[in-house]
Amino acid sequence: MAAGGAYAVALEAVTRELARPGGVGVGVDDGGTRGEQLPRAILVPDYHLRAGVVVRGEDYPAVIACAAEVVQRAGGAVTELHATEIVNPGARSPWRAVPFETRLEVYRAWAECLERAVQRIPYVYVAAEQYAGFLARAAALGATMPERQEEGLQRVFYRCLGPWLQTEFAGEPVVVQDEPSYGPDLGKGLGFWGDAVVVAPSEALPLVQLADLAAYTVNRWYHIKGRAQRDPHAVASPFDEVTVDLLIKTTTRRCHLLDHV
């Protein structure tokens, strides 16, 4: 996007379109688990995930209001909602200064917002070993794929997302994701608003922050299952209790896009 005032004008236009009654917005973010942190029976090793949240335009103002309210509740230097930092803030995270109970309240309120506002949760994931196999098969066929796993996953995700959205929702959806992007002409020719995926800092777009929560919860589910396999008597953390409750409530809304190719 353009810098300075032009960026602000462009972002205002995107937000206005996201909130247009009758329109559809899709926030996208990534996640995953590096290395072999869990048994292979639970989670393929070194996998990367891309997930989206589909929100109708008439519901987006409530998402904006909820994001502003819970960020204000957190206080301090907090400026956006990032699930990993809310749950387990690092030493440099502004969430580090927020009391545990407040972080839990914020996480629960943001999860409730997702449950109220989100129509569908499309996602795709691929492990490093799987992607290496894809590269080998592509080479054997004389085709090309990006060497970087994340870039290849992004390409597959959007090429699956475009036709799926046309089947599930009418019109030109506004698709937004956080920086950075991989490759030129992201989303071109896929039926998205502006013939592109809008790329902007997640802090500026609550819809992308909501997609971050969706990606986090899908990824976290594998960790919760892995812990239960290791220790059937393990007690879930309060954050995981909220996560499981959200996953149960949104079960029928999650859609692995490769199942629809």
Render each residue's pLDDT in the chain as its tens digit; 261 residues: 444 455 555 899 999 999 999 999 999 999 866 656 555 655 566 678 899 999 999 999 999 999 999 999 999 899 999 999 999 999 999 999 999 999 999 999 999 999 999 999 999 987 767 767 777 777 787 777 777 778 888 888 999 999 999 999 989 999 999 987 787 778 899 999 999 999 999 999 999 999 999 999 998 988 887 777 777 877 789 999 999 999 999 999 999 998 876
Six token digits for residue 124: 């795709």
* Residue 207: φ, ψ to 5°: -65, -35
User: In terms of pTM, does the model score above 0.85?
Assistant: yes
Please report, for the chain, the start and end positions of each structural domain, with discontinuous segments joined by +: 23-260
Would you say domain 23-260 falls under CATH 3.40.50.1970? Answer: no
